[in-house]
Amino acid sequence: MGIRRRVWEVVEVAGDGDRVSRAFDVSILSLIFLNVLAVVFGSVESIHARWGAVLDGFEVFSVAVFTAEYVARLWSCTVDSRFEGGIRGRLHFALKPLSLIDLAAVAPFYLPFVGVDLRSLRALRLLRLARVAKVGRYYSSLALIKRVFRAKKEELVLTTVLMGLLLIISSSLLYYVENPAQPEVFSSIPATMWWAIATLTTVGYGDMYPVTVLGKVLAGSIAVLGIGMFALPTGIIGAGFVEEIQKSKQSCERCPHCGRELTNPGVNPTTPRQVDSGRDRA
């Protein structure tokens, strides 16, 4: 049990003073970055033709390390109270999002042996950075984002519905206006939605554009509406961040001993007030 607990401590995010676990984290991070670089540069034909054997050998080594890490996590996870229960605990651990990412990092290598070629999915190893990088160090920032979206979910849902309605209305209008003039381009409302999305989010892609006068007027109006409509979620999220940051600052201005709010945070409430000796005698 002691060995299993130590293995779990090493493969999980390093605690304070645990040099072995810290070295393991740094090694895995370095291997992940090298794998991503190998996948990227390996797609260049000239590099693959010259260094293909080296890249293949590095791939085998990396998969062996990642597989051993996944097996070590799966074997030692039962020491954590969240994954107690033998098979049931390990199944619970294996179905966690980060565990599925770990599995996705090695599965593309083994899939060709069963007749499936998904080696392009090796870039999913980049997602393994989440296990080491975000937990702990960025936890407060992620919690802030979560609180903002939770507090503003009704406003965000409303703006999403409005954008969907605007997309359908603009696609329908342009279809009925431009279809007689360009039946091969604006062939249907779903086909026109591509133009509407490109126009609402940017100024258009250039592959579809109106040629009639009424179509141009409508397109200009829709483009202006799109700028204002897509600014709404940005403003809502920005206001939510300001509110949550202010709440966090206010919650920090409390006495560390009794928990009461400090009316003057610059004054230490534990410091005794100085009393004039002459006035006190009077």
Residues 122-177: pLDDT tens digits? 555 555 555 444 444 445 666 778 788 888 889 889 988 988 998 999 999 999 99
Distance (Å) of CA 148 to CA 134, 152, 234: 18, 6, 12
Over residues 188-221, the pLDDT tens digits come to: 999 999 988 888 887 777 788 899 999 999 988 9
Domain with CATH 1.10.287.70 in the chain: 147-252
Q: Is the pLDDT of residue 6 over 60?
A: yes
List beta partners, residue 261. Answer: 254
Residue 24 tokens read as 């393991």
Domain with CATH 1.20.120.350 in the chain: 2-136
177: closest CA among 166, 186, 164, 168? 186
Q: Which amino acid is at 129?
A: L
Q: How far apart are CA 136 and CA 104, in angstroms?
A: 23
The CATH H-level superfamily of 2-136 is Voltage-gated potassium channels. Chain C (1.20.120.350)
First and final C-alpha spacing in the chain:
71
Q: How far apart are CA 132 and CA 32, in angstroms?
A: 11
Q: Please tell me the pTM assigned to this model.
A: 0.55
Q: What is the pLDDT of residue 68?
A: 93
Cα dihedral 266, 269, 270, 272 sign = positive
Q: Does domain 147-252 have CATH number 3.30.2130.30?
A: no
Place of tokens 């007689």: 180
